[in-house]
Structure 1
């Protein structure tokens, strides 16, 4: 082989090497795709496992209470104190919902896996949330699934040596919402409305891909279920014009009061009330939750079953909404790992059931849903997400316009009482940690 031939061969080899680096299986674009696909699959699987663990924990508590009504008098305060101590000692970033942590982590995504979205934090989050549910705490798993989902997606990108950006964290969080509720559209809406204040166009495909894959995994393993059951009821235009303003104003006011109370507690309120003794504060909160739960028999845990019963037409006592409000606020004051999505929706269901007394001729399920969307929108100040979650979680396509009108009124009313959005306000403490 002459020199020219050897030169051509070497040139072709170098060109092949360049093409392989750019387009081969180890190329950046393929590593990115592997990270997002693998991460989304993992988020879906982890969300399903987390849901199973949470359901078993709630079932364990229900079994204990059915055998001995007095068990929560001892169990709940002790568990609150123990969980609060353990969380503060080993993983402070696991406390609370999980959504504020991801909002804070977006500011410095490259260091998210060191604390706010670390494996240790997520593991403590899952275990302690399950422990809280096993003690009757008024918490949900949806907010924690957001934090865990972001963590899983972040580690998938770390493993594939892909840079970690805020878009990655948002995609993981959106996938978590989609898998937790089996509501893909709600995952996208949540990413846009709550997590991405300045929504980046390049984030769209990432979020959509993650949500779609996580949703398919959830659908494949958990089945084609509707979270709260199918609601086929509708409201006429005239009924909507009457009920939506009332539900929106009342729900918005109640939700804003909850939001302001949570922000005050998180910014030194608990420390002032407890004299700087958070574990004692958690024990007292446990006593409050136990007392309410024993007195009512309905306010334990997520409140999912109570909400589903009310949507189905079971009349709830007038005091259910206020009782669940106090139980959820007391649990939040304790600083336990756990979300407020499901408890807030349950509180809103109690509000809707009470409002139905004013409109007895209207379908109770429809009025309950308006109460739920109003209160939830008042708490989180995300009306689009609130509407889509409830629409997908109940299959109530015929109530889209009444739900949207109610949510917008509730959001406007809440903004007059609490201008600051809850999750963004709560994220400040975690941002300072970073």
Structure 2
């Protein structure tokens, strides 16, 4: 049991170091952009190309977000394959290359990679303990992924719900105690090192039942449509881009990634630098009411996030999704003057986030915990489930489940995928982008 605790502490410590390293990289990019904004036209393409080259050489297998890979390992029976996916080398690559992506202006986050990093650490301890029982191995991977999420956002409850709703789609009684223990220890480690902070800061807002709840309806529909459309586009891109673009991605992936970097820089210049990176600064400013952004912000951030994904570089979608959702909420808020300032921003955030991930409970708990406010829980739940329903109309199958299933399809050995995944997709003949 003590080794589990050591693993949980390491997950929390790694998440904290990842966060600090990522923040320093974002600060470096900000100084660079302030010095000469147009220099991003050189830095972004060169950086994207270098990162893609690294994912194909030194850190092969580190592409993508990390969540689909973690989900896929929970459905594999051949643990020789799992051992090749959840490695410390790939985990190190996730950290280094995600941070390099932040320097280069990619619209990515560290939360998705933190899930695979946490799963890799706990899987390593599972191997160290010589576990042979498949259920025990899966519970360690599940707990590690949940702990990585919890430590990245400093949201222990969200990590537990994420493990149940997104990673495993079920709750195994045998694994529950271990998962809870590892998530709690990892979360306590993160709090000890970084303090009991909240992502958005404390929000003393409320949404009383009545006319203010029109914001729930509007945010749920708009956020669900926007998030669902993004998920549908990502799924389409994972099957292969059409025409000459798809051929370029297949035949010259490094050049294609450089072009994605150039497009990211152009979008960044149009947005005056607001679309670079995670979007945390912009989301926090919108929530606090210290800055206001036009509708073009979340539209451009949406495009930048999509281009960053298509490039195939490592990086997650959670933090940029929160920024896009905050932008949507801030834009809607100006048309609803009778609502509490900041409240609609939270509704927009949970709506878009849920629209992308189609995990209403996880979305609700994450937003509730990052703003340290339980008063808005009912409104957040209502908005999340409405956005979930709208998103399902646009994108009938959950994003991460489909991406995980497509990742399983890339495995050479049939033994790697003995269990059918939900939302099975037909095989595609076009080049698949890294997931």
Matched, 1:250 2:222: yes
In structure 2, do the counterparts of structure 1 residues 345 and 420 end up closer, same or farther at CA, with 3 Å as the change threshold? same
Gaps of 5+ in 1: 1-32
- Correspondence for 2:275 among 278, 281, 299: 299
Give the secondary structure class of the aligned counterpart of 1:419.
coil
Which stretch shifts more, 187-196 or 162-171?
Answer: 162-171
Distance 1:237 1:369 in 2: 16
| Aligned equivalent of 1:61 | 29
Distance 2:345 2:296 in 1: 15
Matched, 1:317 2:294: yes
| Aligned equivalent of 1:157 | 126
Q: CA deviation at 1:165?
A: 1.6
Distance 2:93 2:183 in 1: 25
Contact 1:251–1:348 (Cα < 8 Å) also in 2: yes
Matched, 1:189 2:164: no
| Aligned equivalent of 1:211 | 183
Contact 2:126–2:137 (Cα < 8 Å) also in 1: no
Q: CA deviation at 1:294?
A: 1.3
Distance 1:206 1:233 in 2: 35
| Aligned equivalent of 2:174 | 202
Distance 1:271 1:46 in 2: 41
Contact 1:35–1:157 (Cα < 8 Å) also in 2: no
| Aligned equivalent of 1:284 | 259
Q: CA deviation at 1:378?
A: 0.3
Which stretch shifts more, 233-242 or 122-131?
Answer: 233-242
Contact 2:76–2:82 (Cα < 8 Å) also in 1: no
Contact 2:40–2:265 (Cα < 8 Å) also in 1: yes
Larger radius of gyration: 1
Output the TM-score relative to the length of structure 1.
Answer: 0.90
Q: Deviations over 1:102-122 (max 9, x none)?
A: 011112263355321111111
Q: Deviations over 1:49-107 (max 9, x none)?
A: 11111111111111111111111010001111111122133444211110000011112
| Aligned equivalent of 2:284 | 308
Matched, 1:224 2:196: yes
| Aligned equivalent of 1:95 | 63
Gaps of 5+ in 2: 417-435
Q: CA deviation at 1:270?
A: 6.7
Distance 2:91 2:167 in 1: 19
How many residue pairs get matched? 402
Matched, 1:171 2:171: no
Matched, 1:75 2:43: yes
Aligned pairs for 1:37-56 (under 5 A) are: 37-56=5-24
RMSD of aligned Cα (Å): 1.4
| Aligned equivalent of 1:86 | 54
In structure 2, do the counterparts of structure 1 residues 270 and 47 end up closer, same or farther at CA, with 3 Å as the change threshold? farther
Which stretch shifts more, 83-92 or 133-142?
Answer: 83-92
Q: CA deviation at 1:274?
A: 3.8
Give the secondary structure class of the aligned counterpart of 1:398.
coil
Contact 1:270–1:278 (Cα < 8 Å) also in 2: no
Distance 1:224 1:325 in 2: 30
Matched, 1:140 2:109: yes
| Aligned equivalent of 2:97 | 128
Distance 1:132 1:200 in 2: 37
| Aligned equivalent of 1:361 | 338
Q: CA deviation at 1:243?
A: 1.1
Q: Deviations over 1:320-339 (max 9, x none)?
A: 11010000000000011000
Contact 2:74–2:168 (Cα < 8 Å) also in 1: no
In structure 2, do the counterparts of structure 1 residues 67 and 270 end up closer, same or farther at CA, with 3 Å as the change threshold? farther
Give the secondary structure class of the aligned counterpart of 1:364.
coil
Contact 1:35–1:153 (Cα < 8 Å) also in 2: no
Distance 1:331 1:70 in 2: 19
Distance 2:259 2:12 in 1: 36
Matched, 1:400 2:377: yes
Output the TM-score relative to the length of structure 2.
Answer: 0.90
In structure 2, do the counterparts of structure 1 residues 312 and 270 end up closer, same or farther at CA, with 3 Å as the change threshold? farther
Contact 1:230–1:394 (Cα < 8 Å) also in 2: yes
Q: Deviations over 1:178-237 (max 9, x none)?
A: 100110000001000000123312111111001110011011111011111111111110
Contact 2:207–2:213 (Cα < 8 Å) also in 1: no
Q: Which structure shows the bigger proportion of residues in helix conformation? A: 1
Which stretch shifts more, 322-331 or 262-271?
Answer: 262-271
In structure 2, do the counterparts of structure 1 residues 125 and 183 end up closer, same or farther at CA, with 3 Å as the change threshold? same
Distance 2:244 2:2 in 1: 49
